[in-house]
Amino acid sequence: MQFKRILLKLSGESLMGDRHHGIDETRLSEYAEQISEVAQKGVEIGIVIGGGNIFRGLSGASKGFDRVKGDQMGMLATVINSLALSSALNAVGQKNRVFTAVRMEPVGEFYSKWKAIESMQNGEVAIIAGGTGNPFFTTDTASALRGIEIEADAMFKGTRVDGVYTADPEKDPAATKFKTITFDEVYNRGLKVMDLTATTLCKENNLPVVVFDMDRYGNLKKVIEGEDIGTLVHL
């Protein structure tokens, strides 16, 4: 499977590295190096980052925050992470542009599909921040939406685990990994790959999802080159 254009979903929690919150500079630099290496090979890359290392709207709501305000705080957390990644990409010489789903120039350019595609065609990594711009949607859903909009060949979901398992491998040592799995099977088994809205969006628009371990250095290049290290979720 050859990928001309991908949507890379990065976990906010993974940016913490060994910390309990915030951004680990070493992890951030490793991500930037891996992304730049793939971009230099001619793959067009759009990126959506979560904000869970800074603030998560849903958990904020459980602590008394208004859900809409909490989700807006979460969107801003993704902007902070996106600016950090942009800075790290600049440091390794990789051109990039930050787009935001909510107007906040000059922090980032207001997102549109056509501007993002033009940016990628010009060799820039398009970092799309601010979620969908609406409350009640996760960054998984934002990734699915942006992946479909920018006409990506696939969505690459970089997580802390190396694929989709029958159960949580961190809790169940007997859990086994899927090489491939359908969207319907993910739903029927109740697997927590993405939230249901994101899964449905990907299924209805035939956007395959590759789940892999982004925290192991070099895995992004390997998975894009077709090495069998993650799980392919497909129709």
Mean pLDDT of 103-129: 98
Provide DSSP, 102-127: S--TTTSEEP-HHHHHHHHHTT-EEE
Mean pLDDT of 49-72: 88
Question: Which domain covers residue 123, as residue numbers?
Answer: 5-234
Of the candidates 47, 61, 153, the residue with the CA atom closest to the CA atom of residue 100:
47
Mean pLDDT of 27-43: 97
Span 132-171, pLDDT tens digits: 999 999 999 999 999 999 999 999 999 988 999 999 888 8
Name the token pair of 13.
């929690």
- The per-residue pLDDT for 1 is 52
Residue pointed to by tokens 């299924």: 203
- The per-residue pLDDT for 59 is 78
Residue 225: Cβ within 10 Å count: 13
| CATH label of the domain that carries residue 229 | 3.40.1160.10
Q: Which residue has the higher pLDDT, 127 or 59?
A: 127
- Does 75 have pLDDT greater than 80? yes
d(CA 89, CA 233) in angstroms, rounded, equals 29
Mean pLDDT of 175-192: 95
Overall domain count for the chain: 1
